[in-house]
Amino acid sequence: MRFSLFRKKKVMEMTMDDIVNLSREKINENERRLDEFIDSNYPQAKSAVSDFILEVESLGIEFLHPRLRGVAKNFVSAMKSYWNLPSDKREYFYSLSEKSSKLAVSIGKNYRILFAVNPPELEGVNTAMKKIFSLVNEYNSIVGDRETNGWRRVLRITEEIREMESKIEKEEKRLLELNEIEVEDNISDSHKNELKALKEELSKTKKGCEKIESKIQKVMAITRKPIRIYAHMVGENIVLNKMTDIMNPKIKTMAEKTLEEVVKGSIRIKDSQRKETIESLKYISSDEPEKMYENLIDLKKRINDLNSKIKTLESIMKSKDPEKLRREIEKEKSSVESNIQSLKSDLHQKMTELKGILQEILGCEVVIK
């Protein structure tokens, strides 16, 4: 006799990067499935709505019972202006879903007597309406897919966890700085010279950041339109809003292909902008964005370090009472330590929540490395 109670449970080991990548993969799969559904069912949806409007307009109100005619007139009048839907396929289905939901509520609330009696004259309206509801139900089942929504929660929680870890690291660094402060009875001129040097370096570092950010923003502004034109030519969807987007392999490939079309003349660029556009497309296609972005991250870390050192040094220089300064340092240390403990407690709860969701989705225990 076998006892399943004693069987070893399956355990899956995953890093945070594994979790994030898998979440994005599953969410993208759902998005592709939604795009496929919309592309293949868009004509049927438009046809179903057209049929419904036609049936509503041809509803034989005069043949209805006198008690139903007023409600039927109101229904026909409301429906004639109700189905104003956008032309974009995605927006069309989103709006169709919302309007179908409101229509179902309205039928039960405002036109209840008409559809409860359900005279033969409503047969065509009901048939057309069922076609719309059937398509909307299938659309909603993809949009509201339980597993995909689970992966969306996972992705959101991983972002919260990383933000907490970053805050903990920052607070621990601040605590270390406070512990290293040596309070002197007299503030020497060396502090003033050190503060001046730190502020000069901070100003220079900020200018370095601004120069890189300005360069990347300018490249994005110049290339966004031609890349989107090329993407439209080949039937692709792209997002080019954030600085990190230009490091996306898909965007880099798009930039390279766009450059070829610009050179060939398939994508027209103003003569005054042509040289700068070509140089910017070459820039995105190269490894330069990654190098500049890494440099930008290093500069921003340096800015944080400098701000922290300046803050610490200024706090020393502002106080002429060493004992007062020591009390202030101890008070801040206590506050920082409390923040660290609170953040670690919140982090533990989030990790527990994350493991629970992953176990529910994957059907096994998950160990996060």
Report how far residue 211's alpha carbon sits from residue 217's, in angstroms, rounded to the nearest whole number: 10
The DSSP bridge partners found for residue 365 are 11
246, 289 contact by CB (below 8 A): yes
pLDDT along the chain (369 residues), means of 10: 45 90 92 93 93 87 82 85 88 93 89 85 89 94 91 93 94 91 67 86 92 88 87 83 82 86 85 86 86 88 91 76 78 93 94 92 87
| pLDDT tens figures, 228-284 | 888 888 888 887 888 888 888 888 888 888 888 888 888 888 888 888 888 888 888
Q: Is 45 left (phi over 0), alpha (psi -120 to 50) or beta?
A: alpha
Q: CB-based contacts of 46: which residues, under 8 Å, 6+ apart?
A: 92
For 87-109, letters b (16+ CB in 10 Å) and e give eeeeebbbebbebbeebeebeee
pLDDT at 188: 63
Report how far residue 369's alpha carbon sits from residue 367's, in angstroms, rounded to the nearest whole number: 6
Q: CB-based contacts of 72: which residues, under 8 Å, 6+ apart?
A: 59, 61, 64, 114
Q: CB-based contacts of 139: which residues, under 8 Å, 6+ apart?
A: 34, 37, 38, 41, 93, 96, 97
pLDDT at 3: 36
Task: Label residue 217 exposed, middle or buried (CB < 10 Å: 0-12, 13-18, 19+).
Answer: exposed
| pLDDT tens figures, 285-312 | 888 888 888 898 899 999 999 999 898 8
User: Of the candidates 208, 180, 152, 194, which has an alpha carbon nearest to the alpha carbon of residue 317?
Assistant: 194
Q: CB-based contacts of 3: which residues, under 8 Å, 6+ apart?
A: none
